[in-house]
Amino acid sequence: MPSYLGAIGTANPAHRIAQPQIAEFMARALQFGESDTRKLRALYRVSGIEHRYSVLPDYGRPLGEYTFFPNTPTLEPFPSVGQRMAAYRREALPLAVEAVRASLAQVPDVDAASITHLVTVSCTGMYAPGLDIELVQALGLRPDVRRTCVNFMGCYAAVNAIKLADAFCRADAGARVLIVSVELCTLHFQKSPEEDHLISNALFGDGAAACLVQARPLPGGVPSLSLDGFHCGLEPDGHDDMAWHINDFGFEMTLSSYVPKLIQRGIGKLTDGLLASLPVQLRDIRHFAIHPGGRKILETIEAELGLTRDDNRHAYRVLRNYGNMSSATVLFVLREVLAAATPADHGAPVLSFAFGPGLTMEAMLLGLCVAPATRHAAHQPATEVAEVLS
């Protein structure tokens, strides 16, 4: 029997900044001339992003009003890893707590003492004692809650957290797993005109997401998703095209313009590998939750799998309103899928992808469980509705 994921809660920092404002900050910080500034503005216009959130107000302020970066034309002395990690430690916990409370508010019958496992996810900051222990204290979780940290895996890490939660629940039908992802990507702005850095500076934002996973549908008729299948693919040729390294002045993202081509080459094989052991075919799937790594990535997947832009509407909405929030992003997209689902969608399969360093490509098949609370709550996973779908 499958496990179930639901009650997705999200949170973003207070500073919501329009993409053109961020472009002006970047041009100023990089000391670009008129020609390069014009090209940078064009890059931001075609990104598919309208706003991003940051724990730092500086990206929307003029020089002289910065609170994190130095108020000098060159931003020197440029913030060190230590300064960035101090900001992460200050900001990550309140954002994570807000996301968890938004999650638990959807299931009033679930209290903190009933959570048996806590899985925290982040690639934008680390410290010890860490976020996991601070969450136990802040949320009043049991001191014997089983804690697992998924760190530094990039944008696909939430899928690994979901896999872990699924394994816990399959091993123990009484398990109730809280997953918490928090990413403060904007702490790691790199003052470099290299293409990789220009692209990553144009895409990433801050956010947190939390959800519950357990061995049965969530109580109270709360919409959830059955976890019906997982598959991981690697494109080793992309080892140097998407990477994440700790250097002296923050974590440096390598994100080359070749990544969409790598995904184009591997997405069909990834999908086939996921569906090979499941009685569901791609043509049967009408719901998608694709990690919006960037506009070009979404368009590439559409072209390869024969999807429409409307099929991908949830990913575009998240990209437009939040940008790429690394591991938290796919949970934001799944929240959109659940919010849009109706009882008529009960049992329908959902195909989800996420991507990250390696180049790693993760795929999930989920099933919508949106039956009214008055109806029998036993959900048939996508693997059990093949006859209906065929």
Active site residues: 155
Please state, in angstroms and rounded to a whole number, the distance separating the CA atoms of residues 361 and 80: 31
Please state, in angstroms and rounded to a whole number, the distance separating the CA atoms of residues 147 and 218: 21
349-356 and 15-18 strand pairing: unpaired
| Site of tokens 């002289």 | 64
15-18 and 3-11 strand pairing: unpaired
Among candidate residues 333, 327, 359, 364, the one with its CA nearest the CA of residue 349: 364
- What count of other Cβ atoms lies within 10 Å of the Cβ of residue 14? 9
Task: Please provide the DSSP assignment of 44-102 as one string.
Answer: HHTTS-SEEEES-GGGGS-TT--SSS-SSTT-PSPPPHHHHHHHHHHHHHHHHHHHHHH
Please state, in angstroms and rounded to a whole number, the distance separating the CA atoms of residues 340 and 344: 11
Name the burial class of residue 29, with classes exposed (0-12), middle (13-18) and buried (19+) by CB atoms within 10 angstroms of its CB: buried
Q: Cβ distance 344 to 227 under 8 Å?
A: no
Q: Cβ distance 196 to 255 under 8 Å?
A: yes
Please state, in angstroms and rounded to a whole number, the distance separating the CA atoms of residues 215 and 370: 16
Among candidate residues 303, 309, 270, the one with its CA nearest the CA of residue 288: 309
| Site of tokens 């009484």 | 174
